[in-house]
Amino acid sequence: MGKIRKFAVAAAAMALVTAQLAGLARPVRAQDYPSRPIRVLIAFPPGGPTDFVGRLLVDKMSALLGQRVYIENKPGANGTVGADIIAKADPDGYSLFLTTAGAVTISPHVMANIPYDSLRDFVPVAEVVTNTTVLVVTPKMAIKTAKELVALAKQKPGAITFGSTGIGSTTHLAQVLLADAAGVSFLHVPYRGAAPMLTDLLGGQGKAPHASRNRPMESGLSQIAASRHPAGEAAGSHRKPAGASAGEGPR
């Protein structure tokens, strides 16, 4: 294996990346790795898409490696808290990182004083999953399409709350792109991840959350299918069978 480095997994699309710290890495023989439990740090709360994918991942890793692989949740600042922890961890292959693309590709461009450099500190290894962004609204709004949402936003500029999984997240950017393209403004409400955002949505506290379609979003999709939380649009290169009831947003 040569030098064992820290690994990180970026999600949304989720992709494997490894720390660019070869000078600090320790030479380890492949047959010796892993000789102790491996930590997978997830930069979002339990119950969200990244956490769900991570738990599937560690189960398979444990079986394949014959060693315990466990999850540690460290949410905050759109994954940058977790990214910083991994950037400062011992680059010995026993600290892995699971986060959305926001922490390594978006936040460095929209947040000040990021304590790491994605290009310098991390190297992409492999894509893990891709997902679809779905626009979901509460039934109280009585709208079924993005066009109707835009019309309402023009009547009430800055009054419609719009949830995202955090500042600098893909869901935040989706909201900004929609507002910019339509010439409207929303009241952005950043959450610490998809799980708390969905909790508020299902409780009727959010007006128009954008949500990523990973496994926890199946709960959101089940609400869509039951017409409890209509899907205005789905953003993607092609229609996904599970979200067939949602319209396709502009490309």
Domains, the chain, ranges and CATH?
A: 3-129 (3.40.190.150), 132-248 (3.40.190.10)
Which one is predicted more confidently, 190 or 128?
Answer: 190
At 219 the pLDDT is 42
Three-state DSSP class for 141?
Answer: helix
The pLDDT tens digits of the residues spanning 41-66 come to 998 889 888 898 899 999 999 999 99
Q: For 140, which DSSP code?
A: G
Place of tokens 């009547």: 155
What is the rounded CA–CA span in Å between residue 107 and residue 29? 36
Q: Report the predicted TM-score, pTM, of the whole model to 2 decimal places.
A: 0.69
At 210 the pLDDT is 46
What is the rounded CA–CA span in Å between residue 179 and residue 186? 7
**Crossing angle for the helix pair 146-155 and 170-182, to the nearest 10 degrees:** 70
User: Which residues face 39 on adjacent strands?
Assistant: 70, 95
Burial class (CB in 10 A: 0-12, 13-18, 19+), 33: middle
| 205 φ/ψ angles, rounded to the nearest 5 degrees | -90, -25
* Region of residue 81 (left: phi > 0; alpha: psi -120 to 50; beta: else): alpha
Mean pLDDT of the chain: 74
| 167 φ/ψ angles, rounded to the nearest 5 degrees | -65, 125
pLDDT above 90: percentage of residues in the chain: 22
At 125 the pLDDT is 63
Q: How far apart are the first and last CA of the chain?
A: 42
With 90 as the cut, is the pLDDT of residue 89 above it? no
With 50 as the cut, is the pLDDT of residue 218 above it? no
Lowest mean pLDDT among 28-32, 81-85, 166-170, 217-221: 217-221
Instruction: State the sign of the Cα–Cα–Cα–Cα dihedral 65, 66, 67, 70.
Output: positive
At 172, which helix (H) or strand (E)?
Answer: helix 170-182
Cβ(146)–Cβ(174) below 8 Å: no
